Chains A and B, each alone.
Chain A
Amino acid sequence: DQQVKQNSPSLSVQEGRISILNCDYTNSMFDYFLWYKKYPAEGPTFLISISSIKDKNEDGRFTVFLNKSAKHLSLHIVPSQPGDSAVYFCAASAGGGNKLTFGTGTQLKVEL
């Protein structure tokens, strides 16, 4: 039972264009969402987060959008750079708890 789903295992984008990574969740108790980025042979690192009281959070080239009614969030990267090539994990937590539920990840490749 996958409560956080990333249905696209991979995405390829040209340098300078927008990358859009999607994430869906099923648990309506989730109220805090995060994106992590992972390079090969390294652990995931925190990228950006959003609380359920907001519908958008922006940090430089990275913006996360949350649509609570659709139980959907997305990560936009503009403009995409080759260094953004990595696996991106969506994660969610409920009620300030200590459990963070991750999706299966999306491999982003930014091509020159």
Chain B
Amino acid sequence: DAGVIQSPRHEVTEMGQEVTLRCKPISGHNSLFWYRQTMMRGLELLIYFNNNVPIDDSGMPEDRFSAKMPNASFSTLKIQPSEPRDSAVYFCASSSASWESLYFGPGTRLLVL
């Protein structure tokens, strides 16, 4: 299994631009999570899906952030418009039945200038 796949690995954009991050979870996993890592706050949960349905998006910072999971093998996290304070590493993770089976992707390092 290739693990959780994220693209792009690095993204540099200018303030005001739209950014789309992509994630392919591990096949057979029914939960998908989007996390953001910053020095000050560590790993923050932004949103998670169960069986493609958004369950809790209380961690999404603002209306500028949106996430979709159109099918079991694909999810996107979109930021529109992007701001410099959105600069962080964004991780996608998927799991099956337990936290021990939570697998993270390699992350997307986002820099908004």
Which residues of A pack against B, CB within 8 Å?
Answer: 2, 4, 6, 32, 34, 41-46, 49, 89, 91, 93, 98-105
The answer on a CB contact under 8 Å between A99 and B45 is yes
Confirm or deny: B67 has a beta carbon within 8 angstroms of a beta carbon on chain A: no
| Chain B residues with CB under 8 A of A4 | 42
Interface SS, B side: strand
Report the Cα distance A110→B96, complex, angstroms: 33
**Given A43-B103, A100-B45; 12 other pairs, CB 8 A cutoff:** A2-B42, A32-B99, A34-B100, A43-B93, A44-B104, A45-B103, A89-B43, A91-B43, A98-B48, A99-B45, A99-B48, A102-B44
Asked if A104 meets B56 with Cβ closer than 8 Å, knowing A34-B99, A34-B100, A46-B102, the reply is no
The answer on a CB contact under 8 Å between B45 and A101 is yes
- Point out the residue from B44, B45, B100, B107 that lies within 8 Å of A43, measured CB to CB: B107
Report the Cα distance A89→B37, complex, angstroms: 11
The answer on a CB contact under 8 Å between A98 and B31 is yes
Confirm or deny: B50 has a beta carbon within 8 angstroms of a beta carbon on chain A: yes
Q: Give the nearest-CB partner of A9 in chain B.
A: B39
Q: How many A-B residue pairs have CB under 8 A?
A: 60
> Considering only CB atoms and an 8 Å cut-off, how many residues of chain B contact the other chain?
26
| Chain A residues with CB under 8 A of B41 | 2, 104
Confirm or deny: B55 has a beta carbon within 8 angstroms of a beta carbon on chain A: yes
21 CB-based A-B contacts, threshold 8 Å: A4-B42, A32-B99, A34-B99, A34-B100, A41-B106, A41-B107, A43-B93, A44-B104, A46-B101, A46-B102, A49-B99, A89-B42, A91-B99, A99-B45, A100-B33, A100-B99, A102-B35, A102-B42, A104-B40, A104-B42, A105-B42
Confirm or deny: B110 has a beta carbon within 8 angstroms of a beta carbon on chain A: no
